[in-house]
Amino acid sequence: MEPVMVGTNPVAAARDLRDFTALVQEHRAMVFSLAYHFLRERAAAEELAQDVFLQLHRCLHRMESSEHVVFWLRRVTAHRCIDAARRRGRRPEVSLEDVPEASEPAQPGDPLLREQLRKLVGSLPAQARMIVLLRFQEDLEPAEIAELLKLRVNTVKSQLQRALAMLRKKAGRLEW
Amino acid sequence: MDRFEQQLKEALRRQVPDDGFAARVCAKIAERRDAKEKIWWRFTPFHPSKPKSGLLGTLVRWVTAVALCLALAMGLFVRQTRHERAKADAVKAQVMLALRITGAKMRLAQERVRSMSSKPKTENGL
């Protein structure tokens, strides 16, 4: 996880474009990774991340603290990702059933295993996918995810459990 | 967090976009800012893209400046006139109210006088 500025006011700091660049540098990995793991397309993820930062630049006067900026970025990125998935009017590119099962037990830190897992996550329904990303990429608690996505905590918990069960089922032969 | 979840976390760790991401974002911001500015600014004769020299350029700039001054003066005149009219209307309303009150008082006094003059006379003639 990248360091987050605490206690400084990003509005004052990012008034000019040079300081806004520093803000982008600080949060680009968070925004880009959410978009990339969600959309599974580098170009689309970069475009979405750029749009999120453009929107941030327009709304900068409303930001009250660094924490507010992080919360805002996560929320806007999450909603934009889900909207993008709906706009494309598609189910995940790879259906959960189409993800091939590994024939050999995976080793920890195996890049193939990581790719396999990313594909599995990419095959989840949009909302569940975002919940899994916020939980495991951003380390957020279900209550924080619920606040971000404007859902009930119980909904987040049940969706998370269901998504994990689906992922475990498919990855069952990988001997966790 | 069990082993599967740890692996998931490892697989979903943050990644950085291609180099120059922040510069591309800032370029887009600058581009949009310019586009927004150009909408009105580029039509004025003061925009840097307009010819700076030449009789026509000078004439157009002067005409525009005079037109702007006239528009400003016109605006101020209209505002002042409206303000004065509103003031006069308020005074008029006050005068009307005062006249209505005076009329009412006059009527009351007239009725009193009438009632006094129509009272029956007493024994001593008063």
pLDDT digits (tens, 9 = 90+) for A9-41: 555 545 566 788 889 999 999 999 999 999 999
Shortest Cα distance, chain A CAs vs residue B98, angstroms: 54
Q: What is the mean pLDDT of residues B71-90?
A: 96
pLDDT at B37 over 90: no
CA dihedral A125, A128, A130, A133 (to 10 degrees): -120
Q: What is the mean pLDDT of residues B41-65?
A: 72
Q: Does A24 touch chain B (CB under 8 A)?
A: yes
- B2/A176 CB distance under 8 A: yes
pLDDT at A148 over 80: yes
Q: Please tell me the least confidently modeled range out of A149-153, B30-34, B38-42, B104-108.
A: B38-42
Question: How many angstroms separate the CA atoms of A46 and A39, rounded?
Answer: 10
% of residues, chain B, pLDDT over 90: 54
Q: Within chain A, which residue ranges are assigned CATH 1.10.1740.10?
A: 1-90
Angle between helices A17-39 and A111-122 (to 10 degrees): 90
Q: What is the mean pLDDT of residues B2-30?
A: 90
Comparing CA positions, the residue from A143, A132, A134, A131 lying closest to residue A168 is A132
% of residues, chain B, pLDDT over 70: 80
Q: Residues in chain B whose beta carbon is closer than 8 A to a beta carbon of chain A? A: 2-5, 7-18, 21-26, 28-30, 32
Shortest Cα distance, chain A CAs vs residue B54, angstroms: 37
Which of A57, A123, A169 is the best substitution to test chain B (most B C-beta atoms within 10 A)?
A57
Q: Within chain A, which residue ranges are assigned CATH 1.10.10.10?
A: 96-176
Cβ neighbors of B88 (< 8 A, separation 6 or more) are none
pLDDT at A5 over 50: no
pLDDT digits (tens, 9 = 90+) for A55-112: 999 888 888 888 999 999 999 999 999 999 888 765 555 555 555 554 445 555 677 8
pLDDT at A54 over 80: yes
Question: Which of A17, A32, A114 is nearest residue B17 as measured by Cβ atoms?
Answer: A32
pLDDT at A118 over 60: yes
Q: Which range is most confident: A102-106, A133-137, B6-10?
A: A133-137
Residues of chain B positioned with their CB less than 8 A from the CB of A38: none
Residues of chain A positioned with their CB less than 8 A from the CB of B14: 1-2, 29-30, 33, 137
Q: What is the mean pLDDT of residues B110-117?
A: 92
Residues of chain B positioned with their CB less than 8 A from the CB of A32: 15-17, 21
Q: Does A136 touch chain B (CB under 8 A)?
A: yes
Q: Does A176 touch chain B (CB under 8 A)?
A: yes
Question: Considering only the top CATH level, what class is A96-176?
Answer: mainly alpha
Question: How many angstroms separate the CA atoms of A149 and A76, rounded?
Answer: 9
Shortest Cα distance, chain B CAs vs residue A148, angstroms: 19
Question: How many angstroms separate the CA atoms of B35 and B7, rounded?
Answer: 47
pLDDT given at position A12: 53
pLDDT given at position B45: 62
pLDDT given at position B57: 75
ipTM of the complex: 0.73
Task: Please tell me the pTM assigned to this model.
Answer: 0.62
Domain ranges for chain B, please list them: 3-117
- B23/A21 CB distance under 8 A: yes
Better-predicted residue by pLDDT, A114 or B41: A114
Interface of A with B in 63-122 (CB under 8 A): 108-109, 113-115, 117-118, 121
Comparing CA positions, the residue from A117, A75, A45, A163 lying closest to residue B15 is A45
Count Cβ neighbours within 10 Å for each residue of A165-175 and write b for 16 or more, e otherwise.
ebbbebbeebe
Per-chain mean pLDDT for chain B: 85
% of residues, chain A, pLDDT over 70: 76
pLDDT given at position B34: 74
- B7/A108 CB distance under 8 A: yes
CATH architecture for segment(s) A1-90: Orthogonal Bundle (1.10)
pLDDT at A147 over 80: yes
pLDDT given at position B99: 96
Shortest Cα distance, chain B CAs vs residue A147, angstroms: 21
